[in-house]
Amino acid sequence: MSLTDLTLHAMQKRLQDKELTSVELTRAFLDRIAAVDGRINAYLTVTGEQALTDAALADRRLAEGRGDALTGIPVALKDIFVTEGVRTTCASRILDNFIPPYDGTAVARLKAQGAVLLGKLNMDEFAMGSSNENSGFGPVRNPWNPDYVPGGSSGGSAACVAARMAAATLGTDTGGSIRQPAAHCGVVGLKPTYGRVSRYGVIAYASSLDQVGPLARDVEDCAMLLQAVAGHDPADATSVDLPVVDYRASLKDGVKGLRIGLPEEYFIEGLDPEVHKAVEQAIASLRALGAEFVQISLPHTDYALACYYLIATAEASSNLARYDGVRFGQRVDRGEGLIDMFMQSRAAGFGPEVKRRIMLGTYALSSGYYDAYYLKAQKVRTLIRQDFLAAFEKVDVLLTPVAPTPAFKLGEKTADPLQMYLSDIFTIPVNLAGTCAMSLPCGLSAEGLPIGLQLIGRPFDEATLLRAGYAFEQAGDWHQRPAPL
Amino acid sequence: MNITREQVEHVARLARLALADEELDALTGEMDAILGYVEKLNNLDTDHIVPTAHAVPMENAFRDDRIGPSLGTEKAVSNAPEAADGCFVVPKVIE
């Protein structure tokens, strides 16, 4: 077994037992990146030299007995996290040359623990996409089969973990952008509750939906990363001042008596039979472990996608107004005045999907249409949120598929935006409701592509979610299957 | 039609996007399809529903009015396409 095949928690144990140094581990990952990333395109920037310097510092810290949970662990970040002195593009040409002057809070918290940053990961431009084909720097390929997409928008983060090019990664999830790529790449991905992790220093897409979370090899690794980044931050006014529990403490308490809801609206026609079968097997496995299953209904599920594409695009059109060629990013100036400079800079810098969403959002917010579109969507959002809160009166956790199908081929859905959007129908409602959810590997299709199981938890009850996920995961071995790279 | 090409051109100006003719043509069709799809929200009666702006109910987040460290001018303008004397330089605004 190679060092890069270890889980994060196994690495941590070896580092603390002095059986391994961070420099050895970091070198192993840098070698792995050099060997396989030419076929995957997960990394936009590799900070090898700095990583080795930081690894040496981490080794000293460990030798002095001052190690923290993540000291010496090599991690990588979606290129949406601003990193002081390290180019941050959000996979957009408009930020091609952007060198942030500060670290965001999640990054600062990882660094404070002594984690080693290997580099920045590819994604859909400004986190808008479900396949990673919208990157301004070329698509990411699925480590299980390079003809297939890794999912999106955190496709680089998921592919990186699946291809063993970092111990774990951070991504962001606005409508499924952690869970859907995690499912397609056979790794574990967690979207915490809105407000659980600070977004300070995370480039904004849709501010009422965006949330930071880990993608990792297994549930315990996810718990460790969440532990490091969760908690109130005065620099993000939407981060919630609630205590952060010890997520590993209750991990192994099992699911006996846990009530799990099966929302009927998620087991529909159009759900791929192989996905359906894998999810049914997961249900049987959890039932055997003592969980109780309850049929429930989330009646407004069918409206979630329409609701999301108004709210997310409206917020995006506002957030992305800052890219105007003045304070950072690319400028195109034909000498025809300020407005022309704005229009040319934005036209040259943004890709087609970003333009499409800015246009849709601008329209939804424009005079005469605001009530019909944006306000209407916000009201429907209330109904969707109430569905979840009512369900959680009856059950502790919900169980659904992550995506209706396994990964699709590159180019298969690029011609029809609406078809592409439909790959997020099972993940989007969670963001609208603002609660937490995770994706776990639960099977392989006949073509050898991973299938994901989604568990959805009560707001701020990540501990129960992780406990259920851990019980399911440990009863099988799906999380241990390596991508045949 | 849910949206016309003239409306799309108007929205592009509002969004400060200089779009080519082909882009405007494609967007007219795509936005029309997406707006057709979101029409389904009108099947729901929401007259008495309070809109949700944020999923987590929160009051205003106040803090003490204390001066803390900030980036400083040099760093703040370090990524500007053009800067001079600690200021962002833009094309002439007033003729």
Amino acid at A233: D
Flag whether residue A428 sits within 8 Å of chain B, measured between CB atoms.
Answer: no
Taking residues A22-43, report their average pLDDT.
Answer: 98
Nearest to A378 among B38, B44, B51 (CB): B51
Q: Nearest chain A residue to B3 by CA: give it.
A: A363
Mutate to test the interface with B, among A363, A416, A424, A431 (most CBs of B within 10 A): A363
Contact list, A193 vs chain B (CB under 8 Å) = 56
pLDDT of residue A419: 83
The yes-or-no verdict on residue A355 having pLDDT over 80 is: yes
> In the numeric block, which tokens belong to residue A50?
């700095």
Task: Give the C-alpha separation, A297 to A276, whole Å.
Answer: 18
Task: Give the residue on B whose Cα is nearest the Cα of A97.
Answer: B79
| From A22, A130, A131, A153, the catalytic residue | A153
Check whether A417 has a pLDDT greater than 90.
no
Once rounded to an integer, what is the mean pLDDT over residues A34-41?
Answer: 98
pLDDT tens readout for residues A303-354: 999 999 999 999 999 999 999 999 999 999 999 999 999 999 999 999 999 9
ipTM over 0.85: yes
Residue given tokens 């990583």 in the structure block: A51
- Considering the segment(s) B1-45 as one domain, its CATH architecture is Orthogonal Bundle (1.10)
pLDDT above 90: residue A43: yes
Confidence of residue B54 (pLDDT cuts 50, 70, 90): confident
CA distances for A302 relative to A173, A265, A405, A425, B9, angstroms: 20, 8, 17, 8, 31
Q: Is some CB atom of chain A closer than 8 A to the CB atom of B19?
A: yes
The sign of the dihedral angle between the CA atoms of A302, A308, A311, A317 is negative
Mean pLDDT of A108-116: 98
Cβ distance of A363 and B7 shorter than 8 Å: yes
Active site annotation includes A154: no
Token look-up 């949206």 returns B3
Enumerate residues 445 to 474 of chain A having a beta carbon within 8 A of any beta carbon in chain B: 459
Residues in contact with A249: Cβ distance below 8 Å, sequence separation at least 6, in sequence order: none
Chain B nearest C-alpha distance from A304 (Å): 9
Report which secondary-structure segment, H or E, holds A378.
Answer: helix A376-394
Q: Which helix (H) or strand (E) holds A368?
A: none
Q: Is the pLDDT at A154 greater than 90, yes or no?
A: yes
In sequence order, the 6+-apart residues with CB closer than 8 A to the CB of A222 are A168, A188, A189, A190, A214, A215, A216, A438, A466, A469
Domains and CATH numbers, chain A: 3-252 (3.90.1300.10)
pLDDT in tens, A439-484: 999 999 999 999 999 999 999 999 999 999 999 999 999 999 999 9
DSSP code per residue over A224-244: HHHHHHBS--TTSTTS---PP
Among residues A177, A239, A317, A445, which one is catalytic?
Answer: A177
A367 catalytic? Reply is no
CA distance A34 to A53: 18
Cα distance between residue A425 and residue A368, in whole Å? 29
In chain B, domain spans: 1-45
Among residues A364, A390, A365, A370, which one has the least CA distance to residue A300? A390
A97 part of contact set with chain B, CB < 8 Å? yes
Q: Which of B33, B38, B90 sits opposite A310 (nearest CB)?
A: B38
Percentage of residues in chain A having pLDDT higher than 70: 100
| H or E element in which residue A260 lies | strand A259-263
3-class secondary-structure state, position A38: helix
Mean pLDDT in chain A?
A: 97
Query: Would you call B25 an interface residue with chain A, using a CB distance cutoff of 8 Å?
Result: no
User: With bands split at pLDDT 50, 70 and 90, how would you rate the model's confidence at A485?
Assistant: confident
Going from the C-alpha of A329 to that of each of A29, A92, A98, A257, B74, the distances in angstroms are 31, 10, 6, 54, 17
Candidates A329, A330, A376; nearest CB to B41: A376
Q: Do A363 and B11 lie within an 8 Å CB cutoff?
A: yes
pLDDT given for residue A480 in this prediction: 95
Output the pLDDT for position A85: 97
Instruction: Give the A:B interface size as CB pairs under 8 Å.
Output: 170
Q: What are A215-273's pLDDT values in tens digits? A: 999 999 999 999 999 999 999 999 999 999 999 999 999 999 999 999 999 998 889 99
